[in-house]
Structure 1
Amino acid sequence: MAQQERAIETRAAIIRGAAAAFQERGYGSTSLAQVSAAAGVTKGALYFHFDSKEALAIAIIEAQHEASAAIGRTLLDENVPGLRAILIMSLELARQLHQDPIVSAGVRLTIEAANFETPVAGPYLDWMAACEEYLRRGIAEGDISPSIDVCAMGHFIISAFTGVQVVSDVLTGRDDIEDRLIEMWAVIMPSLVPADRWDELKDLPTRIRQERAAA
C-alpha cells in the first residue's frame, strides 16, 4: 500500500511539475528533462508513469477537464437556473484559469494540441453540451428567449470565452479576465434575454460576480 501511495504521489508531482513547465514555455518548447526537473523526479520515474511528452500532456488536459467539469455537474445537480448557471460557470472557470496551474496548463495544451495524435476535442464538446443544457433550462424558465438557436449559441459562447481568456492571458496574465468576461456578457446578454425580462436580468453578470466576491 505504501508503494502504491508513493506511486500516486509521484504521478501527481509529475503532473504538477509538467503543468508549470508547459504553462511557462508551451508544449513545443518544453522537454521531458525540464519536466523531470520541475517535478523533482528522475527521468526513469517520469517514463515509468508516462511514455511520451504527449501522454503527459493528455494527462494534464484530462486533469484540467475533470476539475472544470465538476463545476458544470454541480450546477446541474443543484438545479441552478439556466442563465445563472452559464454565468457562474464562466466566472468559476475564469477563476480556475487564473489560480490553478493545472487548469491553466491544460487549457493552453488543449489550444496547442492540433498536431497531437490523440484527439482533444472532447473538453470543448463537453462544455458546449453543458452550455446547451443550461440554455434549454433558461428557455423553459423564461430567462432566455425561445427564438435562439441553442446549438449555435452554445458553440458561440464557448468560442467567445476561449478567445477572451486567451487575449487576457497574453495581455495581463489573466489578471483582468473577470473584467473582460463581464464585457463579453454585456455583448451577449441582449441576444439571450427576452425583452420583458431585460430590466430584471441585464445586470445579472455583475451581480453574480459581486456575490461570489462577497462569499
Structure 2
Amino acid sequence: MAQQARAVVTRAAIIRGAAAVFQQHGYGSTSLADVCAEAGVTKGALYFHFDSKEALARAIIEAQHESSSAIGRDLLEAHMRGIDAMIVMSLEIADQLHNNPVVSAGVRLTIEAANFDSPVDAPYLDWMKAAEEFLRRGQAEGDITDTVEVCTAAHFIISAFTGVQVVSDVLTRREDIQQRLVEMWGMLLPGLAPADRLADLLALPERIRASRHGTSGG
C-alpha cells in the first residue's frame, strides 16, 4: 500500500513537472531529461509511469480535460440560464488557464497535437457539446433566437474562445484574458440574442466577471 501511494505521488510530481516544461517550451522543444530535472525524478521513475513523451503529454491533456470538463458538468446540472452558464464556463476555464499550470500546458499540448501519432480532438468536441446544450437551454429561455443553428454556433464559439486565449497567451501571458472574453461575448451576442433581450445580455459578461472577482468591473 505504501509503495502504491508513493507511485501516485511520483506520477503526480511528473505530471506537474512536465506541465511546467511543456508550457514554457512546447512539445517539440521539451525533452524527457528536462521533465526529470523539473520533477526531481529519475528517468527510470519516469519510464515506469510513461513509456514516451507523447504518453506523458496525453496524460497532461487528460488531466486538463477532466478539470475543465468538470466545470461544464457542474454548470449543466445547475439551475442556471443557458447563456449565463456559457459565459461562466468560458470565464472559469480562463481562470484555470491563467492559474493552473496543468490546464495551461494541457491546452497548449492540445493545440500542438499535430505532432502526435493520432489527433487529440476530444476536448474540443466535449466543449462544443456543452455549448450546444447551453444554447438549446438559451433558446428555450428566450435568450437565443430560434433561428440560431445550435451546432454551428457552438463550433464557432469554441473556436473563438480558443483563438482569444491563444492570442492572450502570446501577448500578455493571459493577464488580460478575462477582459478579452468580455469583449468576445460583446461581439458574439448580437448574432445570438433576440432584439428585445440584447441590451440586457450585452451587460451580462462584465456583470458576471465582476461578480466572480468581487470587483465593480473597472
TM-score bracket, normalised by the shorter chain, equals over 0.9
- State the TM-score, normalized to the length of structure 1: 0.98
State the match for 2:11 in structure 1. Answer: 11
State the match for 1:161 in structure 2. Answer: 161
| 1:88 paired to 2:79 | no
- Cα deviation code 1:15-62 (max 9, x no counterpart): 000000000000000000000110000000000000000000000000
CA drift of 1:162 comes to 0.4
State the match for 1:212 in structure 2. Answer: 212
| 1:113 paired to 2:113 | yes
- Cα deviation code 1:104-151 (max 9, x no counterpart): 000000000013113310100000010001000000011111110101
State the match for 2:26 in structure 1. Answer: 26
Unaligned runs of 5+ in 1: none
The CA distance in 1 between the partners of 2:213 and 2:91, in whole Å, is: 11
Specify the code of the residue in structure 1 equivalent to 2:51. D
The CA distance in 1 between the partners of 2:101 and 2:193, in whole Å, is: 35
- State the TM-score, normalized to the length of structure 2: 0.97
The CA distance in 1 between the partners of 2:30 and 2:85, in whole Å, is: 37
State the match for 1:124 in structure 2. Answer: 124
The CA distance in 2 between the partners of 1:102 and 1:189, in whole Å, is: 31
State the match for 1:189 in structure 2. Answer: 189
Specify the code of the residue in structure 1 equivalent to 2:201. L
Unaligned runs of 5+ in 2: none
Computed over aligned residues only, the root mean square deviation of the Cα atoms, in angstroms, reads: 0.9
Question: Superposition pairs for residues 11-90 of structure 1, below 5 Å?
Answer: 11-90=11-90
Q: Identity across aligned pairs (percent)?
A: 69
Q: Which moved more, 1:192-201 or 1:163-172?
A: 192-201
Number of positions where the alignment pairs a residue of Structure 1 with one of Structure 2: 215
Question: Superposition pairs for residues 126-145 of structure 1, below 5 Å?
Answer: 126-145=126-145
